Amino acid sequence: MLPYVTNFSTINSLDCETIHKVRNNVQIVNFDLEQEVWMQEGACVFADPDLFFPVGSSMKALKQAAEAKAICNECDVKIECLEYAIRTNQDSGVWGGATEDERKSIRREYKKTGTLVSS
């Protein structure tokens, strides 16, 4: 029995909402983890995830993006990562060695030609 539900006859609307939110979040996490096996093989697996999501265009953010891209450039699944980002419209972060702006250009070319052109 789930720890937050002791008796189904006493569930109020707030409990019900909580159950649905938890269930939906667990399903989303489970789906994401099972969806792309290549993610476990990325060079970024042991890196700080924040490194791949620089904020803004400050010198610090540009340096952070460059560090993330350096990790991507050594990665065996760089192309799979970039393809995933294009296919799923990832609009933030560094994916497959490409920033948001770089992926916009790649995505435009991808829509025209149907082939992935890496930058």
Tens digit of pLDDT at every position of the chain (119 positions): 444 444 444 445 555 556 555 555 554 444 444 457 889 899 999 999 999 999 998 999 999 999 999 999 999 999 999 999 998 999 999 999 999 999 999 988 888 887 775 54
Q: Enumerate the domain spans of the chain.
A: 11-36, 42-113
d(CA 79, CA 10): 51
Q: Where are the alpha helices (DSSP H) in the chain?
A: 13-35, 59-73, 78-87, 100-113
pTM: 0.66
Q: What is the pLDDT of residue 110?
A: 80
Q: What is the pLDDT of residue 85?
A: 93
Query: How much is the CA Rg of the chain, to the nearest whole Å?
Result: 19
Question: Which is nearest to 71 in space by CA: 91, 105, 97, 92?
Answer: 97
Partnered with residue 98 across adjacent β-strands are: 95
Q: What is the pLDDT of residue 36?
A: 75
